[in-house]
Structure 1
Amino acid sequence: MSNEDATRENRLREELPEEVHTAPEEAPEAPEEDGDRPAELTGRQRLVKGLWPPRVSRAQLIVAVLLFGLGFGLAVQVASNSDGDSALRGARQEDLVRILDELDDRTQRLEDEKQGLEKQRDELENSSDQAEEARRQTVEKERQLGILAGTVAAEGPGIRITIDDTKGTVEADMLLDAIQELRAAGAEAMQVNGVRIVAGTYLSDAGNAVSVDGNKINAPYRFKVIGKPQDLEPALNIPGGVVQTLEKEQAIVTIERSDKIVVDALRAAKRPDYARSSSR
Structure 2
Amino acid sequence: MTESNEHAGKPGHRLRAELPQEVTPAPAPGAGPNPAAGRDAGLTGRQRLAQGLWPPRVTRAQLIVALLLFGLGFGLAVQVASNSDGDSALRGARQEDLVRILDELDDRTQRLQDEKQGLEAQRDELENSSDQAEEARKQTIEKERQLGILAGTVAAQGPGITMTVTDPHGTVESKHLLDAVQELRAAGAEAIQVNGVRIVASTYLTDSGDGVSVDGNKIDAPYRFQVIGKPQDLEPALNIPGGVVQTLEKEQATATVERSSKIVVDALRAAKQPDYARSSSE
- TM score, norm. by length of structure 2: 0.53
Q: SS of the counterpart of 2:139?
A: helix
Report the alpha carbon displacement of residue 265 of structure 1 after superposing the two structures with TM.
Answer: 0.3
Report the alpha carbon displacement of residue 239 of structure 1 after superposing the two structures with TM.
Answer: 0.4
Equivalent residues, number: 155
Matches within 5 A, 1:131-170: 131-170=133-172
Q: SS of the counterpart of 2:163?
A: strand
- Structure 2 gaps of 5+ residues are 1-127
What CA distance in whole angstroms lies between the structure 1 residues aligned with 2:238 and 2:191? 16
Matches within 5 A, 1:77-156: 129-156=131-158
Match of 2:184 in 1: 182
Does the C-alpha gap of structure 1 residues 258 and 127 become closer, same or farther in structure 2, counting only changes over 3 Å? farther
**Which residue identity lines up with residue 161 of structure 1 in the other structure?**
M
- Structure 1 gaps of 5+ residues are 1-125
What CA distance in whole angstroms lies between the structure 2 residues aligned with 1:277 and 1:235? 36
What CA distance in whole angstroms lies between the structure 1 residues aligned with 2:276 and 2:175? 32
- TM score, norm. by length of structure 1: 0.53
2:210 to 208, 211, 217: 208
1:195 to 194, 197, 209: 197
Point out the structure with the larger helix share.
2
Report the alpha carbon displacement of residue 279 of structure 1 after superposing the two structures with TM.
Answer: 3.1
What CA distance in whole angstroms lies between the structure 1 residues aligned with 2:153 and 2:143? 13
What CA distance in whole angstroms lies between the structure 1 residues aligned with 2:231 and 2:272? 31
Report the alpha carbon displacement of residue 128 of structure 1 after superposing the two structures with TM.
Answer: 8.4
Higher Cα radius of gyration:
2
Report the alpha carbon displacement of residue 206 of structure 1 after superposing the two structures with TM.
Answer: 0.9
Identity %: 83
Does the C-alpha gap of structure 1 residues 127 and 180 become closer, same or farther in structure 2, counting only changes over 3 Å? farther
Match of 1:248 in 2: 250
What CA distance in whole angstroms lies between the structure 2 residues aligned with 1:177 and 1:271? 28
Contact preservation (8 Å) 1:154, 1:264: yes
Per-residue CA deviations over 1:150-185 (Å, capped at 9, x if unaligned) read 000000011111100011111101100000000011
Q: SS of the counterpart of 2:281?
A: coil
Contact preservation (8 Å) 1:173, 1:203: yes
Contact preservation (8 Å) 1:127, 1:133: no
Aligned CA-pair RMSD: 1.7
